Amino acid sequence: MPLVLLASASERRRQILTEYLEDRDTCLEFCILREPEQEVSSGMEVNLQVESSCIRKAMAAVKERSSEGENVADIILVSDTLVEDPDDERAALGKPKDESSAAFSLIRLSGRRHRVWSSTAVLSRKIGDIDVGEDWLATIWTDYAIVEFMHMGEAEIIDLINSRSWEGKAGGYDLAGAAGKFASVVDGEEVTVLGFSNRAIDSLGVFLN
């Protein structure tokens, strides 16, 4: 029975992968990377930023598991998600650090469309295009979906802030949570907004066979 390890603290990602593997003959485990998350920047396009972060996470996952001397999984997954500023393809709206930054993101997104990028790496010892160390290879997919927000008034934004649903969420919102009544996917797949490249999840069966 192959052991699949998801290196992520995201409850949404854990839920998605658990449901995907529910009827498959696999064992699923979770861990949280000790490596600090890469800071967002305005130096390059958001799709390149999210892919760079994903590669960094892949290397960290392999290094951390190997250094701990634990039984390493057959397959490791890492993923990163960034929300692109509606006006600037080089500006990412990352995870808010406080209520003020969460409010800033929600005000920027209110009544507008934006792209959400997710980059996912599937690591194995047999299949992959990128050497990430310790004899592990990574295959990386990067996809985007377009999300549209209804116009939100001050009271609605305050309610979202008070709900704390923005904590740990790129762009300051959780599509599957409180923000779902204001936002919807108008192009692409919901799984991409929630934290995984949809093509990575669709391709996972190849690695499990």
Rg of the chain over CA atoms, in angstroms? 17
Which is the catalytic residue, given 74, 80, 129, 202? 80
- Nearest of 86, 83, 88, 198 to residue 143 by alpha carbon: 198
Q: What kind and span of H or E run contains 61? A: helix 46-67
Phi, psi of 138 (to 5 degrees): -120, 140
CA distance 135 to 133: 5
Neighbours of 15 (CB within 10 A): 13
Annotated catalytic, 25? no
Q: How far is CA 39 from the centre of its chain?
A: 14
Catalytic positions: 80
